[in-house]
Amino acid sequence: MANLIAGSADDLSKLTGSKNYFNGLTIKTDASKFSNNSTKASLHWNKDTGEATLYINPAYNWKSNQKFALKDYEDGHHPTANPKDVITHELCHWLDFKGNPQRFGTTESAFSSGEKIYNDFGKSITAKVSAYATKSPAEFCAEYICGRINGLKFPNATNKEFLERWNGPILNFAD
């Protein structure tokens, strides 16, 4: 699991050109933060303090992560079956959050409370990434990056939505 975190952080550091963006992120292993053993990891953030903790679920079967990554892909959660996606996704939330805690927090709260959702056009362009990406701008941005890291290409409207929503550092994708 530590290798997974290091691998994901490394992938993202290559895109930003710096490891410094992970300064300030607390990482803890704590089963009490999860209501089930299928959720693997979760970023808890506070938009007012700008602080966040990445919780890792020790009750999840990390040894079978590769198998579950394939299932997540088939279920439309992630755009690829890369086992690193689960951690890369959460680290992307961190970069997104840290870039503008207020904007990230306000948007996420509105989407998670159902006060705001993607309209039909928004759903159509975010669905190019994955079904889960249609849930909210933060989920879209995290999954979009997982896709791009794995070499996927998306339509212009999808790329534009990412640039408008992403609060994190500039990412220099390979293509």
CB of residue 51 to Zn ion, shortest distance in Å: 18
Query: In this complex, which beta carbon is closest to Zn ion, that of residue 72 or of residue 139?
Result: 139
CB of residue 38 to Zn ion, shortest distance in Å: 14
Query: In this complex, which beta carbon is closest to Zn ion, that of residue 17 or of residue 28?
Result: 28
Query: In this complex, which beta carbon is closest to Zn ion, that of residue 45 or of residue 154?
Result: 45
Show the CA angle centred on residue 26, arms to residues 25 and 28, nearest 5°.
145
CB of residue 18 to Zn ion, shortest distance in Å: 23
- Please name the residues in contact with 9: beta carbons below 8 A apart, sequence gap of 6 or more: 19, 22, 91
Query: In this complex, which beta carbon is closest to Zn ion, that of residue 11 or of residue 139?
Result: 139
* 84, two tokens: 């690193």
Which residue number has the CB closest to Zn ion?
A: 139
Residue with tokens 């550091």: 13
Q: Is residue 174 within 8 Å of 151, Cβ to Cβ?
A: yes
Q: Contact positions toward Zn ion, by CB under 5 A?
A: 139
For residue 44, the cross-strand partners are 53
